[in-house]
Amino acid sequence: MKIKGIPASFGFAIGRAHLLKSNVYTPKGASIQSSDVENEIERFIQGKALSVNQLENLHQEAVKKLGAEKAEVFQGQIEIVTDEELTNEVSGKIRKQLMNAEVAVHLAFEEAIAEVESLDDNYLRARADDLRDIRQRIVNNIAGRERNDNLFETEDAVIVIAHDITPSDFAQMDTKKVVGIGSETGSLTSHVSIMAQTLLVPAVVGACQVTSVVSDGDMVVLDGQDGFIIVNPSSAVLSTYREKQRLEIQESQQLSGIVDLPSATLDGKRLELLANIGTDRDVEAAIRFGAQGIGLYRTEYLYMDQESMPTEEAQFSAYRTVLEKMQDKKVIIRTVDLGGDKKVPYIDFPEEDNPFLGWRGVRIYKDYPGLIKAQLRAILRASVYGQAEILFPMIISVEEIQRLKALLSELQSELMREEIPFDDDIKVGVMIETPAAVMVSEALAKEVDFFSIGTNDLTQYTLAVDRGNNRIANQYNELHPSVIRLIKRVIDSAHANGIRVGMCGELAGTLRAVELLIGLGLDELSMSAPRLPTVKKKLINCVYDDALYLADQVLQTSTSMQIARILSETEPAGNCVKNNSI
């Protein structure tokens, strides 16, 4: 039996199910007499005091297990329990409406929970679960009900399954015994998910009806990668997952070794390995996986899901955070690339037959100059906090970059007049993602400090294939001979003019292309952080001379099939099927 949920913390767990009994109890009860009012108030006060006590203890335990920062959630809970307004409301309900203490508390929280759940912010909405957790604790304490999770008496390798797992529940778990958690409620940003990620405990949330299907003691596989909970798995499924666990352990062991090795081939050719990030939260993963810098900081997330354009201040803050976290490692910030499928309400997008060939990227800046000015000012101001570089997307002509450089210069003068410091030597680059840019790359190279090849868009524009179109998506191929020749041309233009060239498209993180990319002469590869160790492993086992030869061979073939064959022949035997009859 396989239940699907939302993967909330990566990893694979195998163990016996331990069902957490539901602590959810909705109090009902008769009204009280007016003579009982003071007594009820006293019950409420006692209930609060006991709750605070319990939470202080939980806080201390959590500090030890999770660290002070993550444990702070319990301080927040204490603050809510002792909240003035809450106390006034509850007292009001007891005195004026003659409710008993449990019901008064339940209803006072109900309002707050409803309001929090109707807020726009995803992060905030998840706080509603915290409020429920706190409410339950106070109500249970007033009523004298015990919380009944004896997780200290379980055998080893237990997977906790429940309707709802609260931060308090999780903080009490012995993570040597609890190897995974699964719940019917919860979300990716709930506190429990975050705690599980910190402690590297695989977790699946939102698994509807799992408590109806799992019994205490059932053998369970919890897949924190794809979000499955498998009850009473067959031996085939069990061995598949044991293998996944083994590989995961192996990967993480190798990971810690690889991060410290120099980023170069066996014969000493260096290549920088960078990470792509979308938000400043991705930076931690980038650092953990050994990125030597950020090759692409996609700034669109600052603009999307918002009612209005992000202010210069808000952006400055975000860029500063990333730059400070990365310290002396470079951070290539790509200016906002909206349009196509990335729309926002505060910009008037036209109806387009061909949005892909439409009003997007730098084209929008001309019509909304405030947009790019605010962003560039924010980047410049933040540049004093680290190694910022500016990258412009969707460039097709030399005129475009010249105009943008003039604007940048203007803004730098503006900042100087305002006596605001910035890095006056900030590097500027362009994305090469259109055939037009490739063909004038010689001239573009004289205008900028670096190129970044965006293979995703470059491939689509070059092959005239929309990878989102099911009918022809199988023709999308980043290793098409035309695409590879264009890449080579860009690299040659860059080096002929003494500038560096990197790649930030999906191809950069594709294992079977790594040796080819090295041989073509790229200086940097930027990819999503988890890809870094695998790619680095490949890099440090390559011989540059062999890579040059490989690139040469590939550049001389003119069919995708031959190229695919050449590339797969360089994989160690056993990883692919050889087709000698072709």
Catalytic residues: 191, 504
Cβ-based nearer residue to another protein, 84 or 153: 84
Cα–Cα distance, 58 to 168 (Å, whole number): 7
Cβ-based nearer residue to another protein, 317 or 562: 317
* Contacting residues for 84 by C-beta, under 8 A, at least 6 apart: none
**Beta carbons of 214 and 159 less than 8 angstroms apart:** no
Neighbouring C-beta atoms of residue 232, cutoff 10 Å: 14
Closest distance between another protein and the C-beta of residue 310, in Å? 7
Cβ-based nearer residue to another protein, 120 or 153: 120
Closest distance between another protein and the C-beta of residue 115, in Å? 4
Torsional sign, CA 254, 260, 266, 269: positive
Q: Which long-range contacts (CB under 8 A, 24 or more apart) does 152-157 make?
A: 154/18, 154/178, 155/16, 156/15, 157/14, 157/15, 157/16
CA-nearest of 556, 560, 522, 562 to 539 is 522
Closest distance between another protein and the C-beta of residue 121, in Å? 6
CA-nearest of 440, 414, 350, 422 to 379 is 422
Length of the chain measured in residues: 582
Look up residue 299 and give its DSSP letter: G
* Contacting residues for 257 by C-beta, under 8 A, at least 6 apart: none
**Beta carbons of 97 and 68 less than 8 angstroms apart:** no
Applying CB under 8 A, the residues found at the interface with another protein are 72-73, 75-76, 79-80, 83-86, 111-112, 115-116, 119-121, 123-124, 127, 130-131, 280, 306, 310-311, 313-314, 317-318, 321
Closest distance between another protein and the C-beta of residue 324, in Å? 9
Cβ-based nearer residue to another protein, 86 or 396: 86
Torsional sign, CA 385, 386, 392, 398: positive
Closest distance between another protein and the C-beta of residue 120, in Å? 8
Cβ-based nearer residue to another protein, 80 or 542: 80
SS3 298: strand
Closest distance between another protein and the C-beta of residue 129, in Å? 12
In sequence order, what are the beta bridge partners of 524? 272, 502
Residue in this structure with the two tokens 């205490």, named with its chain if needed = 216
Residue 196 in tokens: 């599980």
Cβ-based nearer residue to another protein, 123 or 152: 123
* Contacting residues for 236 by C-beta, under 8 A, at least 6 apart: none
Cα–Cα distance, 468 to 486 (Å, whole number): 22
Cβ-based nearer residue to another protein, 59 or 531: 59
CA-nearest of 96, 62, 94 to 77 is 62
Cβ-based nearer residue to another protein, 111 or 545: 111
Closest distance between another protein and the C-beta of residue 71, in Å? 11
Closest distance between another protein and the C-beta of residue 95, in Å? 19
**Beta carbons of 167 and 73 less than 8 angstroms apart:** yes
Cα–Cα distance, 117 to 101 (Å, whole number): 24
